Chain A
Amino acid sequence: MSADHDGANLLEVRGLTKIFGTLTACDHIDLNIAKGEIHALLGENGAGKSTLVKMLFGSLEPNSGDIFWNGEAVRITSPGMAKKLGIGMVFQHFSLFEALTAAENIALSLDDGSPISSIAAKARALSFSYGLPLDPDSLVGDLSVGERQRIEIIRCLLQTPQLIILDEPTSVLTPQEADKLFETLERLRSEGKSILYISHRLEEVKRICDRATVLRHGKVVGHCNPREETASSLARMMVGNEVKAVVRAPAEGIETAQPLLEIRALSRKPATPFSIPLKNINLNVRAGEVIGIAGVAGNGQGELFESVSGEVLQQDAASVRIRGKDAGALSITGRRLMGAAFVPEERLGHGAAPRMKLSENLLLSRHATDGKVFVGAGGAVKSGAVYAAAQRIIVAMDVRKSAPDPEAAALSGGNLQKFIVGRELDRSPAVMVVNQPTWGVDAGAAAHIRQALIELARSGSAVLVISQDLDELFEISDAIAVMHNGELSKPLPIAEATFEKIGLLMGGAEPGHAEHTLETA
């Protein structure tokens, strides 16, 4: 706050407001970014971080408020204009064409007609000087997520920005890759560039950021120096109250328990040129335990989920077994009828049909398993029974909504996820497979979902959780396996697992061979 009016601010935001219909996404936001600082923007999902950043980058127009750039009032009406001012952005979800090379992707966004070869040379030089190794001639489709992020960063740096906005940059990186990124950021700071760092990972904010602005429900709730705060005091600012910690009772007797989900030598050829083949995956999930699968995004987790859920069938029926019976040749409906339940990563469009009501979305995954209850003679849907069941789930999971039975797309991500998880829990499935259970979900809802998964396991079910969030896996898992490049490591019992061990495995290291870690990623 000390840098308020001394003119050293690169960017000043005063009273910036954005209203969508009845929702005030950003409510009189004030923000100062000084030259040469790494400034954290903290907040839960839905706090207004993305809306604020989009206004700074010119992809959204504010309803009111002012932006000052180097002390001068500016109106940023398009991303092109933001770039001209010197604002660069690295998006959370990359906007790269997989079928083009890194250099071609960079050329597309530079749009100044310079030949690819000179762009490639510049990119190579820049990547070298910032310690971000990158081959500009490689196809994006062949690159790891970390490498793709480097393209985005270099693409941004080539435009010599004064302010670089990074949106959740480490959510797709291994801990070791993240360390490398932090080195680059510190280097940029030392050159006098400013960085706006958006994250909800408090430890890394404490580690690299000079100042932080915390948003909650579209309002600034505080500015602070993250180094003087604790992770829990930051969390309190973000959430507004204490988040209930997840309680994990020790699992008893699971060594001798029956495996309810068995994956045996599961392999799968890549379905598209850019998807990952699964190589000889073996895993048992026993009654009463939660097994976590860690891994950097795009290492075959999605492919594994599809194979286990039965959205894609296996040639070898014995490669997936549910409750002791072969299920590999059965469809997702067949596997559900054996007692399994599934929650996919994408909520809208995969786990739920966006334009359909919650009650209809209940029917989506349970029309067969609860056939007698929900579907009457001649295939007539008993909408009354479906509606009642949907309301039961809404109450059980504390789903907040604006109408009795709204469309799925009308719910916030966290509330929809609570409904989708609740929809499966309501069946008390013997086997539950969840991909990214709390991705983009606020802390309160995430704790609720995690607790529910643990309780399901302790009541005698087998729970398999695929997640990119290591904190989450350490919180709920009894053992963690790591997925890398389509292969799955042996599960490490939670007592033996450390961030470092898991991180190395995520980077592709064999257990015990920690030397060749990062560059194989």
Chain B
Amino acid sequence: MMRLELVKRPQRSMLFSALSPFIAFGLTIIAGAILFALLGVNPLTAFEIYFIEPISQVWQLHELAIKAAPLILIAVGLSVCYKANIWNIGAEGQFILGGIFGSIIPVLFPGFEGPLVLPLMLLFGMVGGAFYAAIPALLKTRFGTNEILTSLMLVYVAQLFLDWLVRGPWRDPQGHGFPQTIQFNDSAVLPELMPDAGRANWGFVFALVAAVLIWVLMSRLLKGFEVRVLGSSPRAGRFAGFGLSRMVFFAFLLSGALAGLAGISEVSGAIGQLQPVISPGYGFTAIIVAFLGRLNPLGIVAAGLVLALTYLGGEAVQSALGISDKVARVFQGMLLFFVLGCDTLIHYRIRLVGMALAKGAAKLDAAPKLKEAR
């Protein structure tokens, strides 16, 4: 019997730390080629349709920006959480609540028009997302619940709440019974950046601005230092006088607000009304974006564009080759798997251990390790 063990490396390779996302991407391509071959499609053709064609024209680049904007907005917020070692998995729900809160004005007060509408909607969206993120933060700080579980479970609550709204109280009375709200009036629609060239709207600009601001926060401000200290050594953070509870709220509210902003931008810009489903899983995909971008806001911009492409590619292979668009999910999953795998192997090396020998060693090692963990 053999057994695999992860042994901590004494030193991390700087080179491979930097290369890791690219290696992961390469491995994803290889695994993807095998996947396409098994589906009976020539991998080269499939890759051309998946990765090249969707960005070969200017209007398609606009589509890419539309898909990338929410991913980047959410992921930069999540990067702050994850740097603080706080695990907000519920950005999808915060995104939806942002969409709902932001839609209050155009849905309930359709007569209210003017330049104030849009800023108010965006503000409401951020408040909605932040409010929804405050729930797991409160549960964690007050009752010590695991934020991974609570934030994830609240996603389903948000999805069902939206579903109920658009089928019930907020349904468009003139909508022939379709489960959707009224179309937003013009002053409630996020303008397009270059209407002549494509559909990309201001959401992409918000994403870039947010990425730069978060970068400044994390690398230049004392608050960012606090995030990094509490995330990497909580006890040193407490010694520094930084409060962990305050940090939980800060990280959740910030990431929730950005997810909410992404939600209302998507609803107001790309969709123009509320529907039962307003996100193809942006909140979850953004987790991959955050890690692929090494939790660095500028890396996240690049990673967001890559993941946006997997969405477009998924749609493209579906229409051109008749392959399920779930293949996009498969690609995203593989990418996350390989990123995390590469990161792990940067910190650890694998050792094969014979069972009989390992037993004694493991028994002896187990206790001190447990102690360390506490």
Contacts and interface: CB of A to CB of B under 8 A. Distances in A.
Contact of B225 (A21, A108, A365, A367): A367
Contact of A109 (B222, B229, B364, B371): B364
A309 B235 CA distance: 13
Contact of A349 (B10, B233, B241, B359): B233
Interface in B216-233: 220-223, 225, 228-229, 232-233
A340 to B, nearest CB: 12
13 contacts: A80-B364, A91-B368, A95-B367, A108-B367, A109-B364, A309-B239, A332-B241, A333-B241, A350-B239, A353-B228, A363-B222, A365-B240, A379-B223
A364 B229 contact: yes
A331 interface: yes
Interface string B350-374: 0000000111110111011011000
A427 to B, nearest CB: 14
A346 B233 CA distance: 12
Contact of B232 (A91, A95, A333, A356): A356
A333 B242 CA distance: 9
A111 B236 contact: no
A140 to B, nearest CB: 11
Given A108-B363, A311-B238, A375 B222 contact: yes
Contacts of A336: 241
Contact of B239 (A59, A351, A381): A351
Contact of A381 (B225, B233, B359): B225
Nearest to B353: A78
Given A80-B357, A81-B357, A83-B360, 14 more contacts: A77-B357, A97-B367, A108-B367, A109-B363, A111-B360, A349-B236, A350-B233, A354-B232, A363-B222, A364-B239, A365-B239, A367-B240, A368-B241, A379-B222
Contacts of A310: 241
Contacts of A78: 357-358, 360-361
Interface of B is mostly: helix
Nearest to B236: A353
B221 A331 contact: no
B11 interface: yes
A77 B228 CA distance: 39
A465 interface: no
A79 interface: yes
B221 A381 contact: yes
B89 to A, nearest CB: 24
A8 to B, nearest CB: 29
A97 B228 CA distance: 32
A360 interface: yes
Given A109-B363, A109-B364, A111-B359, A363 B225 contact: yes
A355 B236 contact: no
Interface in B1-58: 10-11
B368 A364 contact: no
A360 B227 CA distance: 13
Give the one of A58, A78, A349, A379 with max B CB within 10 A. A78
B295 to A, nearest CB: 14
A448 B11 CA distance: 31
Nearest to B231: A353
Interface in B235-276: 235-241, 243
